[in-house]
Structures are given as C-alpha cells and as structure tokens.
Amino acid sequence: MMDQGEEGDEEEAWLQLRPVEPLPSQCCGSGCSPCVFDIYQRDLARWEAARASKDRSLLSREETQSCPSKLSPETFLAFLISAVDRLTEDTYLVRFALPGNSQLGLRPGQHLILRGTVDDLEIQRAYTPISPANAEGYFEVLIKCYQTGLMSRYVKSWKAGDTAFWRGPFGGFFYKPNQYGELLMLAAGTGLAPMVPILQSITDNAEDETFITLVGCFKTFEGIYLKTFLQEQARFWNVRTFFVLSQENSLEQLPWSYRDRTRFGRLDRDLLEELVGSCRRKPFALVCGSAEFTKDMAGYLLHAGLAEDSYFLF
C-alpha cells in the first residue's frame, strides 16, 4: 500500500504523461480528418483509460504506415529538402526527397499538413503537392509567402539540406478517369496547385478522354506560375487554358500565344457563365483559391446553372 508521498509522486507522473492540448495556431483550418484536435481527443481518451487502470502500456501505439514513404495522417514525418526555387517575388517551388524510388502515395489533388515553429510557436498549414502522383523519389510543393505570415517566415528560412515535417494525406476529392465529361478548373494564384496533378494524371493516361478547361487567375502575366508546364498541357487535344489577369490592361504586352485566351480584370459572373457555356460537355467544376474567391465562384456556378453536386471546393 502506497503512502501519501508515493501517491503524490504517482499522480505527478501521470500528469506529466497527459497529452497537451493543441494551440489554435496548430490547426491549419482546412477541415482535415483527423485534425490535430481529433488526435488530441483520441490521445486524451487513451490517457484517461490508462490512468484509470494504472496501465501505462495502453499509452503505446504503433504508427500508421499508409504508403512506401510511411506517410501518416496522424504522425509527422521528416522529409529532406533537396531544392528550393524562387518562382516569383513571393512564391517558392520546393522539392522534397523520398527514400529510394518510393512514391508519396497521394491521389491527385490531395494535400498534406506542414508543421513549422516560429518564435517557439508551433504552426500548421495545408499545401498540395504539384508533382505527378506517380513521381518516384521526390515530391514538390508550391508555397506562396506573405509578408506577415508566420509560416512564411519559416519557409523563407529553408535551404537545401534542411528537414521539414509533413503528415497526410487529406482531401475529399478523388478523381477517377472518365468520371466526368469535362472538368472546369477555376484556380486563383497558388490555388493552381491541386489542379496540376489532376490535369497531368489525365493527359498521362491515353485512355482518359476527359475534356479540361483550366482558368488561371493571376495579378500579372509575369506572376503566372508554371507557364512552361501549362503551355505543354495546352497542346493536348482535350485541354484548353485561359488566364484572367487583374493588373494588366494591354494585350500587346503579352506573347502572341496568350492573347486570344487572356482576359483582364476579374473572373466575374458574366465571364464564368460564358466559360461554362463554352464547355464542350457538361462540366464538373473544381475551385481553389482564397476564401473570397471560392465563395464567389460557388455563387457564380450556381447562377450559371450548375447544381451543388456539380462542383467541388478545395
């Protein structure tokens, strides 16, 4: 029988094992399942059960392994940064190494959660790899940095040879070949990211005859991401690309190949209705961008005649 001192020491030992509740900054806000708070509640329930039965072995668990790289939705895994390329003034393309010729194991359009620490504050944000789903030995992520962003400060410090921590995959859109007659992709800025692997999975598959209309919204022509890739994709018989530039006003300043598929201003209700009407088959729309952009596009799509089950908002 333990005396009061031993009971106090035992209680203190259990309290030290109690899971720590996440800070709001540790939630990326993307609706991931499991969220960091889901994991906390699960671990807290495990701790309470172990404490009640005084059995610490109940706290141990095996890590989930969901793909060759051992990526897990619940556990952060370290990945080596092999290259950091600055695409524009505020956007970076970062390549991460995978062991041997392993694949990341994501479906096209799924995203990961990045964990960073700035000023002793842990933060988490969601990013979508743009590398092909079947890429071997690496994956690439497009990241836009903001002047006052905490994660941006962390990303700007990266260099080749550093390590970053990711968990996943997450995402509720699962593309199947020939599932839709036409995909209407509406992307603003780095919202282009989930469209890239979906687009490439279609053009890499000779048996997938899905039409694609991709509309990229950017501030300037120079600010368009992945121009070479998009130009190559537009050569496929089933792919069309359009651009909407909010801070340009002269077609003469653009290369000839862009002039007949570029509009100025913003992607408004009338232009979207025109794009929907020009689709060669009944479209299913994919939307990714800022919260404001996504909300606007959802309303415009409904006005253009698409039902709520005819579009997906990343």
Q: Is 92 annotated as a binding residue?
A: no
Query: Of the candidates 276, 260, 302, 268, which has an alpha carbon nearest to the alpha carbon of residue 181?
Result: 276
Residue 11: is it exposed, middle or buried by C-beta count within 10 angstroms (0-12/13-18/19+)?
Answer: exposed
Residues 6+ apart with CB under 8 A from 108: 133, 175, 194, 197, 198, 200, 201
Instruction: Judge whether 125 is annotated as a binding position.
Output: yes
Angle between helices 291-303 and 269-278 (to 10 degrees): 60
What three-state secondary structure class fits 187?
strand
**Which tokens sit at 129?**
């790899």
| Bridging pattern class, strands 91-97 and 111-118 | unpaired
Q: Name all contacts of 154-161 with Cβ < 8 Å and 24+ positions apart.
A: 154/116, 154/117, 154/118, 154/123, 155/92, 155/94, 155/116, 158/81, 158/84, 158/92, 158/94, 159/81, 159/84, 160/81, 160/82, 160/83, 160/84, 161/80, 161/81
β-pairing, 211-218 vs 239-245, is parallel
Spacing of C-alpha 56 from chain mean position = 37
Structure token pair of residue 49? 């059960």
Q: Does the annotation place 144 within a ligand binding site?
A: yes
- In angstroms, rounded to a whole number, what is the distance separating the alpha carbons of residues 273 and 258? 21
Tell me whether residue 152 is annotated as binding: yes
Annotated binding site: 125, 127, 142, 144, 151-152
Annotated binding site for FAD: 125, 127, 142, 144, 151-152
